[in-house]
C-alpha cells in the first residue's frame, strides 16, 4: 500500500502539471496535491504506530484525506483530453477509501 499511495501521489502531481493555470484551478490543485500526498504519508505513520488506537486514528485520517482528494478531483474542471486520467485518479482514490474503511472495520 505504501508503494501504491506513493505512485498515486506522483500521478496526481503529473496530472496537475497538465491542468490549465487560472485562479480557481490554482487554488484547487494546491489543495489536491496536499490531500493526495497526505494519504500515503498518513499510511506510513499508521504502519509505524505505537498502539492499535494510534493505528486506527491514522487509518481514519487516510480515509478522510482520500475522501478530500476525491472531492478536489471532482471539483476540478479539466480539458477533455485529461478526463480519462481524472476518471482513473478518482477510481483509484475511491478504492483507497474502501480499503481504509475495510481496515477500520476489521480492526474493531
One CATH from 3.90.180.10, 1.10.10.10, 1.10.3720.10, 1.20.1440.60 for 2-8+21-107: 1.20.1440.60
Q: Phi and psi dihedrals of 32, rounded to 5?
A: -60, -45
Residue 62 in contact with residue 43, Cβ under 8 Å? yes
Domain boundaries, the chain: 2-8+21-107
pLDDT per residue rounded down to tens, the chain (108 residues): 999 999 999 999 999 999 988 988 999 999 999 999 999 999 999 999 999 999 999 999 999 999 999 999 999 988 899 999 999 999 999 999 999 999 999 987
Q: What is the pLDDT of residue 101?
A: 97
Amino acid at each position: 500500500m505504501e508503494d501504491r499511495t506513493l505512485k498515486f501521489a506522483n500521478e496526481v502531481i503529473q496530472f496537475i502539471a497538465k491542468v490549465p493555470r487560472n485562479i480557481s484551478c490554482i487554488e484547487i490543485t494546491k489543495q489536491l496535491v496536499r490531500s493526495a500526498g497526505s494519504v500515503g504519508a498518513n499510511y506510513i505513520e499508521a504502519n509505524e504506530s505505537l498502539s492499535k488506537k494510534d493505528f486506527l486514528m491514522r487509518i481514519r485520517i487516510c480515509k478522510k484525506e482520500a475522501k478530500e482528494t476525491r472531492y478536489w478531483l471532482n471539483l476540478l474542471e479539466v480539458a477533455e483530453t485529461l478526463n480519462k486520467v481524472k476518471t482513473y485518479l478518482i477510481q483509484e482514490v475511491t478504492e483507497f477509501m474502501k480499503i481504509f474503511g475495510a481496515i477500520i472495520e476489521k480492526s474493531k
